[in-house]
Structures are given as C-alpha cells and as structure tokens.
Amino acid sequence: MNLPSLLFVIAVTIFVAWSSKKEDGFFVRFYKWVPSILLLYLLPAVAVNIGLFKAGNAVRLLAMDSALPLCLIILTAIIHLPDLLKISRPGLLTFFAGTAGIVVGGPLALAVFGIFLPDLIADNGADSIWKGLVCITGGWINGTPGQLSMKEVYGTSEPLFLTALAADILLQNIWLFFLLYSAKFQDYFNRKLLGKTDIDHDLVDNEEMKREAKEPLHYPPLKVWLILALALAAVLLLSPWLADFFAQKTGTDEDGAWSFLSKKSLWLVLLSTSLGLAISGTGLFQKNLRFWTGLGNGLLFFVIASIGMQLDLHEAEFKLSFLGIGGLWLLIHLAILLLAVKAFKAPWHFAAIGSQANIGGPASASVVASAFHPSLVSLGVLLGVLSNVVGNYANLLAGMLYQLVAG
C-alpha cells in the first residue's frame, strides 16, 4: 500500500467534505464557480502530475474494490425504488441517444476532417487514423477492455494506440469538466430546452432530512450495520466468483461478445446496486437519512479523489488531428443529446448522466450524477453498467462505420 498517496487522498476527501459544508465565507463563494466534485478530482491529479505523489495502484484498488461497493450500497439503499423506476425511462432513452452519438459521431467527424485533410482517411495499414479512433470509441463505451478489444480486432499499431490513448485521456477529462460545470446551469438548460425549471430529481425524502437536521445526529442500530456488513461481504465474495464462473463459460478473450460478464468490476457494481435496491424496499436506511447520506457521500468523495490520482499525463503524446476530430465528435454527441432531451422531454441531468455513463462508465457517471443530486448516483451506476453490457456491440458497429468512411 502506498501510504503517502492514501493519506493524501483521505486528506483531500476530508478537506473538500468539510469546506463544502460551509454556509458563509470564502468557500461558499469559491464553490459557486468550482464544483466540490471537480476540486476532488483536480487536487490529486495536479499532485500526481507535478510529482508530489505517485498514482498508487493500491489506492485505486481500495477505492474501486471496497469503498465504491460500500458507497453504492448505502446511496442506493436510501432511495425510494418506485421513484427511481419512474425516472428511468427518459434516462434510458437519453442514454441510448448518447450511445448513438458516440458510434456515429466519430466516423462522421473523421469524414468531415477527411474532406480537408485527405491523409487522415488514407489507408496506412496498422497506422490508419481510424484504427486509433476506434480504440477511443472502445474506451468511451466499454472502458479499458473496450480499448484493448478494438486494438486487437482491428490491429492498431502500438504507437498509434498510445497516441489515441493520450487523446482519449484529455478528451474524457475535458468532457467530464464540462458535464460537472453544467450542473451549475441546469436550470438554464431546462428552461431553454423544456420551457420549465421545476424539475423533480429528488429521490430522497427531503422532509425527513429537514426534520433530522434540526435534531442531534442519530446513529443507526446494530441490526442495520449487520445488514450492511452482510451485503458488502456478499458483494466482495460473489463478485470474483461470478467473474471466474463466466470466464470459464465465455472464455477470457476480450474480443468475445460476452466478455464483459467475466469482469469483476461489472459484478462489484451490479451486485452492490442490486443489493442496495433490495435493501431500499425495507425502508431501514431511510430512518437515519442524515447519517447514511453523510457516510455515503464521504465514501463517494474518497472514490472520486482516488480517480484523480490516476491521471498521469507525463508520457502522453498528443496529435492535434486527434484532438480536432475528438472535439467535433463530442459536439456531434452533444447535438444528438440535445435532440433527445427535446424529443423525450427529459431534464438536462439525464443528458449529462447518460453521456458520462457512455464515455466514462459507472464510477464517473456516478460522479456526474452526484453533482446534480446524490439521489441520482444509482441511476448513473445503472446506466454505466448498461454501457459495459452494450459496449462490444456498439464498438464493432462503430468499427464498420469507420471502415466505410476510410473506404
């Protein structure tokens, strides 16, 4: 365990959690312009990139394999399930619109740039530009396994793959920053797109929270802690077993259509969310909302800070052509999302969460969701898991479109 990196992540988590609760003074003004979630991400990222700390893999594993499942169980258990189901339809439709924007947007952006720079669509074998772009598509819709799958399927060269990876890192983070900032202006977006701002995305009983806020903090009884411990133990024990089971059934080939079933991370997220939803039906976690919300958000802050620790750009090699195509690609994706918001009468937070679920997966989708409201975290997770499920199919379809553009 990289102890200095772990202590730094914990310190950042505590600092941001403390400062974001201030009701007056400097931090109130500061967080009007810089979302607390964004600061959680930036402080560790800056520390790693200037050499103060190392991007310790042990910290990431602790966050993703333990803190994230526990966080998801808690934040899902405090939700009223009927309300989550009520909002899932427009969220689902907007998510698939975002998927379509990624699949179509990349090839379309390459075709546009190819009109002015024909070399970009020239056949250069393993170094053909589209073979790098399809790796970005794989990373956006299905994470690192998607990237590696597309690299192997289409035979992308190592130098081109590294170039695509560098562009992917920069584009993903720029887009994440945009989506986080958009939470500050969601009323403006909803007014322009839907003609209203009175959007109900509160899945937590606010009246109960307000009542508890006026009373001393009450701690949950022992039986609730035992239920939480059993749920977490089940997740931690069953996830690797299920991953191994499906690996034997489907094989370990990342190119396989069902390879996502052999991913431990998929089962960690899926089981945590499923058990949290099951527990939410008992109402046990809604009796101490103030405590559970604080603990769940604290764990989420820790996970976000640990993600920031992984952003190391020292070895990245950039090409402006990739960034230009990627920029247009994201604009096409955004245009399709805006059309979906209008067509499905979905509030802006569905577009933002659905977009990040496609581009970043469950963890970062939950980060964006929490920027809008903590009760939306589960929606972000569920859509992020769905992205992993449909990823291989969407990536292969994008590969066929790239081949059509490149001739």
Query: With contact defined as beta carbons under 8 Å apart, do 110 and 133 qualify?
Result: yes
**In the block, which residue shows the tokens 């247009």?**
328
Q: Which amino acid is at 114?
A: G
Number of domains in the chain: 1
Give a yes or no: residue 98 inside a domain: yes
Give the global pTM. Answer: 0.68
Residue 201: φ, ψ to 5°: -120, 25
How many other CB atoms are found less than 10 A from the CB of residue 230? 11
Chain segment 180-196, per-residue pLDDT in tens: 889 888 888 888 887 76
What end-to-end distance do the CA atoms of the chain give, in Å?
Answer: 50
Domain span including residue 220: 84-195+202-283+314-406
Give a yes or no: residue 35 inside a domain: no
Residue 205: φ, ψ to 5°: -70, 95
Give a yes or no: residue 325 inside a domain: yes
Give a yes or no: residue 347 inside a domain: yes
Paired tokens of 365: 């989708």
Give a yes or no: residue 160 inside a domain: yes
The full DSSP string for 19-34 is HTT--SSHHHHHHHHS
Paired tokens of 144: 């690192």
Give a yes or no: residue 304 inside a domain: no
Give a yes or no: residue 388 inside a domain: yes
Give a yes or no: residue 402 inside a domain: yes
> What counts of helices (H) and strands (E) characterise the chain?
17, 0
Give the orientation angle of helix 3-19 with respect to helix 36-49, to 10 degrees: 150
The full DSSP string for 205-239 is -HHHHHHHHTSPPPPPPHHHHHHHHHHHHHHHHHH
Per-residue pLDDT tens listing for the chain (407 residues): 578 888 898 999 999 888 888 877 788 888 777 777 778 878 888 888 888 887 767 787 888 788 888 988 888 788 766 655 555 678 889 999 999 999 999 999 999 999 998 888 888 888 889 999 999 998 888 776 678 778 877 888 878 887 888 788 789 888 988 998 898 888 888 888 877 655 555 544 445 555 555 566 678 889 999 999 999 999 999 988 988 888 787 665 655 556 667 777 778 877 887 888 889 888 888 788 888 888 888 888 888 788 778 766 555 556 788 889 999 999 999 999 999 998 888 889 899 999 998 888 777 788 888 888 777 877 787 788 778 777 778 888 898 899 899 87
How many other CB atoms are found less than 10 A from the CB of residue 196? 11
Query: How far is residue 331's CA from residue 353's CA, in Å, rounded to a whole number?
Result: 16
Q: What is the pLDDT of residue 204?
A: 47
φ/ψ region of 131 (left if φ > 0, alpha if ψ in -120 to 50, else beta) reads alpha
Residue 199: φ, ψ to 5°: -90, 130
For 273-296, give the secondary structure using H, E and C.
HHHHHHHHCCCHHHHHHHHHHHHH
Q: Which residues contact 249 (CB under 8 A, 6 or more apart)?
A: 261
